[in-house]
A and B are shown apart, each in its own frame.
Chain A
Amino acid sequence: MPDQSIRRTMTLNLTDAEMRALESLSIQKDLSKTAVIRQALRLYQLVDRRLSNGEKLFFEDKAKREKAELMVMI
């Protein structure tokens, strides 16, 4: 039998806009909605860890030679 790690089910309450965003990402990324949420959670945790370690996250626009630091409260 493949990976039998215990999985739990939860109900997610999303606004219409959030649901549309989730559906759009699901189509764009060719992932199920559950897979999108799981990807988001993994990324959130990874970014959180690195920010907690004192690193910074930037977006870079090479054409404009601009860098902008991500300043959200994670």
Chain B
Amino acid sequence: MTSRRSCRLKVPDGNDLVEAELVYELSKDDLVQAHLDWAPVRLEALRRLHESHRPWPEHWHWDWSKKAQMLDLLAYRCMGIECEGHFQGLMMVSTLAVKGRLASQLGKPVLYIEFLENAPWNLRSLAGKPQFIGVGIRLLEAAIEFSDNEGFGGRIGLHSLPQSENYYRKYMTDLGLDAKQSQGLRYFEMSTEQVLHFIERR
């Protein structure tokens, strides 16, 4: 049986929180199903963006079938937030620790987030009014929990897409453009102190 726990998401209007579930380990089929659910909405959004000459989200060319194959390996784990019968957000992490680059945790094990994505209907720039908000937060929370349980101290790291940089700067350290990669993405890390702030401080 797939391991799950309850969590809550926020609705866009008002302060209400709705019940959802964090699924700790998605199978390949789960990932493919999520892709199929998201594809028509994403395609429609792409058409509208194209017609209005607006750029489309950089990550939408991701090769999902290749990502699904990665789940054959212990080295990768995919988690998702499920609500109302659909995955509202997905995240894949590498279970092989990477070395911390932040000065305060140089060389310490860090959980690397391979990808993190909201369902297209939750993106305000595409859907107008999102169905749920806070999905990304719940996934970051899940990553921190997983990191802690793996013995990595809750530390997480990721490469941000440009549209997300401002958000990550609030709670993580921007370590700048990654010289080892040519895609011009910035690398962010969250230390154990930053984790405490993110999870607990109002």
Identify 18 new A-B residue pairs, CB closer than 8 A, beyond the known A5-B3, A29-B97, A35-B151.
A2-B149, A3-B25, A3-B146, A3-B149, A4-B24, A5-B25, A30-B153, A31-B152, A34-B151, A35-B150, A39-B96, A39-B97, A42-B74, A42-B95, A42-B96, A43-B75, A46-B75, A46-B96
Supposing A2-B145, A5-B24, A39-B97 touch, asked if A30 and B75 sit within 8 A by C-beta, the answer is no
Q: List 26 A-B contacts (CB under 8 A).
A: A1-B5, A2-B5, A2-B149, A3-B25, A4-B24, A5-B3, A30-B109, A30-B153, A31-B97, A31-B151, A35-B150, A35-B151, A38-B95, A38-B150, A41-B74, A42-B73, A42-B74, A42-B75, A42-B96, A43-B96, A45-B74, A45-B75, A46-B73, A46-B96, A49-B72, A49-B73
- Which of B25, B146, B149, B151 counts the most A-chain CB atoms under 10 A from its CB? B151
Question: Any chain B CB within 8 A of the CB of A32?
Answer: yes
A residues whose Cβ falls under 8 Å from a Cβ of B: 1-5, 29-32, 34-35, 38-39, 41-43, 45-46, 49
Please, how many angstroms separate the alpha-carbon atoms of A57 and B95 in the complex? 20
Please, how many angstroms separate the alpha-carbon atoms of A27 and B143 in the complex? 24
- Count how many chain B residues have C-beta atoms less than 8 Å from C-beta atoms of the other chain: 20
* Chain B 1-16 interface residues, beta-carbon cutoff 8 Å to A: 3, 5
Per DSSP, chain A at the interface is: helix
7 shortest A-B CB distances, which residue pairs? A35-B151, A42-B74, A46-B75, A42-B75, A3-B24, A4-B3, A31-B151
* Chain B 49-79 interface residues, beta-carbon cutoff 8 Å to A: 72-75
Please, how many angstroms separate the alpha-carbon atoms of A19 and B109 in the complex? 21
Please, how many angstroms separate the alpha-carbon atoms of A29 and B28 in the complex? 31
- Which of A4, A32, A34 counts the most B-chain CB atoms under 10 A from its CB? A4
- How many Å from the CB of A35 to the closest CB on chain B? 4
Residues of A close to B95: CB separation below 8 A: 38, 42
Please, how many angstroms separate the alpha-carbon atoms of A64 and B146 in the complex? 40
Question: Any chain A CB within 8 A of the CB of B48?
Answer: no
- How many Å from the CB of A28 to the closest CB on chain B? 8
Residues of A close to B72: CB separation below 8 A: 49
Please, how many angstroms separate the alpha-carbon atoms of A30 and B99 in the complex? 11
Question: Any chain A CB within 8 A of the CB of B108?
Answer: yes
